[in-house]
C-alpha cells in the first residue's frame, strides 16, 4: 500500500448497521477481500477489525446476527466507506437482512459538494480551466485527498441524495452517472472556490460538458479523495497532461525546502504551465512518444535513489512503470505509479 494513501484512523464519526447473518457468514468473505487488497485485518472469535485508508470497520457477533460499525476521520470518508461496504454486502448476498441505524438521513451525501460554475477559461490549445464556487472546507484540511469526481448525471436527473439508510441514492442508477476523476489545481484561501484544469480530448464526455457549460450553471462533485500531498523531502514527478494539475498542485504546495525534479509529457508544448517556484525547471517531452516518460523514469531510478517517485499517465504506461520500479528494487513506500486514463 502506498504511504500516500495510508490514513491513520482517528475515528471522528461512527455509523452502524445490524446484518441478519452469522459472524462467520459475514466475516469470512470480507476478510478474504480485504487481505487480497493488502490491508490489515484483526480477527478473534467474535470480533473482526478492518483498517483501510477510508477508515475502520468493526464486526461483532450479536447472537445469530452481526453488528458492524464504521468510523472515519472525516464525514466524506465515512460516506465513501459506508457506500463501499453497502455495495460489498449486496454483492455478497447480505443486503436483504441488513438494518442500518438511522444516524443520518436526507440531504446530500457527506462527500458531495454542490457548486456553481464561476468561470470557464480556455487556458491553452489542450486545456480549459473551470473555477467552481462552493464550500470546499473539507479539501482545505491538512491531509485531505487532492482529487474528486465530477458527478455528471443523465439528462434532467436530480443530484444524488441520501436514502433512508444514509447511503447515496443515484437517480437513474449509479451506472447512469459519469464520474470522472479530476484534481484540485488550486483552492481559494477561504476554500470557497476551486480551479480545475481539464485536458480536452475528442470524444471525452467531460470535454463535451465543458464546451456547453456556462457561468452560473450548477454541478456536483464528490470528494476529497485519493492521494494526498507527499511528505518526502526529495521528489521526482513524472506525468502526462492529465497529471499536470496534480504535479503543479504538489510543486505549489510542498514546503520550499522540498527538492523537486519534474517532467511532463504533453500533446502541445503550449500547454505547459509554470510552477510558482522559479527554482523548479519542468522538463517537457512529447506525449505521442509512449516511451518518453518511461525513459526518464529509468534515468531517475538510476540516479535518484532515496527520492520519492511519482508517475502518472495512461494505464499501460503506469503498469510498465510499476514493473520498472519493482525491478529497480525501489521501496514500495517511496513510489507511486498510477494509471490516470485508459485507451
Ligand atoms: C487521480 C486522477 C486525477 C486526475 N486528474 C485529472 C485532471 O485534473 N485533469 C484532467 O484533464 N484529467 C485528470 N485525470 C484523468 C481523467 O480522469 C481521465 O482522462 C478521464 O477519462 C476523463 O474523462 P472524460 O469524461 O474526459 O473522458 P471519457 O468520456 O471517460 O472517455 C472517452 C474516451 O476518451 C479517452 N480518454 C480519456 N482521457 C483521455 C485523455 N486525457 N486523452 C486522450 N484520450 C482520453 C478514453 O480512452 C475514452 O475512450 C485524472 C485521473 C485520475 C485517476
Query: Using a 6 Å cutoff on CB, does residue 150 contact ligand 1?
Result: no
Task: Measure 69 CA to ligand 1 centroid, in angstroms.
Answer: 35
d(CA 205, CA 178): 8
- Domain at 112-225, CATH homologous superfamily: Translation factors (2.40.30.10)
d(CA 319, CA 325): 10
Where would I find the beta strands (DSSP E) of the chain? 13-19, 40-43, 47-52, 55-62, 65-72, 98-100, 112-124, 127-133, 147-151, 161-162, 168-169, 181-183, 186-187, 193-199, 218-225, 234-240, 259-266, 282-286, 308-314, 335-341
Pairing of strands 65-72, 55-62: antiparallel
d(CA 144, CA 138): 7
Task: Measure 178 CA to ligand 1 centroid, in angstroms.
Answer: 11
Query: Using a 6 Å cutoff on CB, does residue 197 contact ligand 1?
Result: yes
* pLDDT tens-digit series, residues 139-159: 999 889 999 999 999 999 999
Of the pLDDT bands very low, low, confident and very high (cuts 50, 70, 90), residue 14 is confident
Query: Using a 6 Å cutoff on CB, does residue 340 contact ligand 1?
Result: yes
Does 48 have pLDDT greater than 90?
Answer: yes
Percentage of residues in the chain with pLDDT exceeding 90? 90
Does 4 have pLDDT greater than 80?
Answer: no
Query: Using a 6 Å cutoff on CB, does residue 147 contact ligand 1?
Result: yes
* pLDDT tens-digit series, residues 228-265: 999 999 999 999 999 999 999 999 999 999 999 999 99
Taking the CA of residue 198 as reference, the ligand 1 atom at the shortest distance is 11
What dihedral angle (degrees, nearest 10) is formed by the CA atoms of 199, 204, 210, 213? Answer: -170
Task: Measure 119 CA to ligand 1 centroid, in angstroms.
Answer: 21
| 0.95 surpassed by pTM | no
Ligand 1, atom 49, lies closest to the CA of: 343
Architecture label for domain 234-341: 3-Layer(aba) Sandwich (3.40)
- Out of 128, 181, 247, mutate this one to test ligand 1's pocket (max ligand atoms within 8 Å of CB): namely 181
* pLDDT tens-digit series, residues 297-335: 999 999 999 999 999 999 999 999 999 999 999 998 999
- Please report which helix (H) or strand (E) contains residue 207, including its range: helix 205-212
- 66: β partners: 19, 61
The domain made up of 13-100 has a fold known as: TATA-Binding Protein (3.30.310)
Task: Measure 269 CA to ligand 1 centroid, in angstroms.
Answer: 19
Does 168 have pLDDT greater than 90?
Answer: yes
Ligand 1, atom 38, lies closest to the CA of: 341
d(CA 328, CA 136): 40
Task: Measure 245 CA to ligand 1 centroid, in angstroms.
Answer: 12
Q: Could you tell me the residue ranges of all domains in the chain?
A: 13-100, 112-225, 234-341
Task: Measure 310 CA to ligand 1 centroid, in angstroms.
Answer: 18
3-state secondary structure of 155: coil
d(CA 331, CA 299): 17
* pLDDT tens-digit series, residues 184-205: 999 999 999 999 999 999 999 9
Mean pLDDT, rounded, of the chain: 93
Q: Which residue has the cell 458492524?
A: 68
Ligand 1, atom 23, lies closest to the CA of: 180
Taking the CA of residue 240 as reference, the ligand 1 atom at the shortest distance is 41
Amino acid at each position: 500500500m502506498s504511504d500516500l494513501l495510508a490514513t491513520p484512523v482517528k475515528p471522528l464519526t461512527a455509523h452502524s448497521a445490524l446484518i441478519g447473518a452469522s459472524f462467520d457468514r459475514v466475516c469470512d468473505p470480507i476478510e478474504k477481500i480485504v487481505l487480497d487488497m493488502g490491508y490489515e485485518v484483526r480477527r478473534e472469535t467474535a470480533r473482526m477489525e478492518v483498517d483501510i485508508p477510508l477508515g475502520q470497520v468493526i464486526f461483532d457477533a450479536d447472537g445469530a446476527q452481526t453488528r458492524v460499525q464504521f468510523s472515519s476521520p472525516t464525514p466524506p470518508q465515512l460516506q465513501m466507506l459506508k457506500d463501499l461496504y453497502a455495495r460489498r454486502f449486496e454483492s455478497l448476498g447480505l443486503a436483504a437482512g441488513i438494518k442500518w441505524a438511522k444516524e443520518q438521513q436526507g440531504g446530500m451525501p457527506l462527500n458531495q459538494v454542490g457548486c456553481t460554475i464561476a468561470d470557464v477559461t480556455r487556458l491553452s490549445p489542450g486545456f480549459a480551466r473551470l473555477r467552481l464556487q462552493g464550500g470546499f472546507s473539507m479539501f482545505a484540511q491538512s491531509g485531505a485527498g487532492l482529487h474528486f469526481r465530477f458527478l455528471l448525471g443523465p439528462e434532467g436527473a436530480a443530484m444524488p441524495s441520501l436514502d433512508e439508510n444514509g447511503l447515496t441514492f443515484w437517480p437513474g442508477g449509479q451506472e447512469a452517472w459519469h464520474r470522472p476523476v479530476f484534481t484540485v489545481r488550486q483552492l481559494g484561501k477561504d476554500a470557497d472556490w476551486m480551479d480545475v484544469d481539464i485536458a480536452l480530448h475528442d470524444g471525452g464526455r467531460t470535454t463535451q460538458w465543458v464546451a456547453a457549460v456556462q457561468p452560473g450553471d450548477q454541478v456536483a462533485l464528490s470528494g476529497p479523495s485519493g492521494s494526498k500531498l507527499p511528505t518526502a523531502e526529495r521528489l521526482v514527478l513524472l506525468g502526462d497532461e492529465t497529471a499536470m494539475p496534480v504535479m503543479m498542485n504538489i510543486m505549489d504546495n510542498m514546503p520550499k525546502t522540498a527538492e523537486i525534479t519534474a517532467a511532463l509529457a504533453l500533446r502541445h508544448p503550449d500547454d505547459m504551465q509554470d510552477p510558482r517556484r522559479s527554482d523548479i525547471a519542468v522538463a517537457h517531452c512529447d506525449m505521442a512518444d509512449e516511451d518518453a516518460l518511461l525513459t526518464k523514469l529509468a534515468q531517475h531510478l538510476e540516479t535518484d535513489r532515496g527520492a520519492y517517485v511519482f508517475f502518472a499517465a495512461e494505464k499501460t504506461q503506469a503498469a510498465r512503470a510499476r514493473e520498472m520500479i519493482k525491478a529497480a528494487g525501489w521501496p514500495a513506500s517511496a513510489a507511486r505509479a498510477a494509471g490516470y486514463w485508459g485507451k
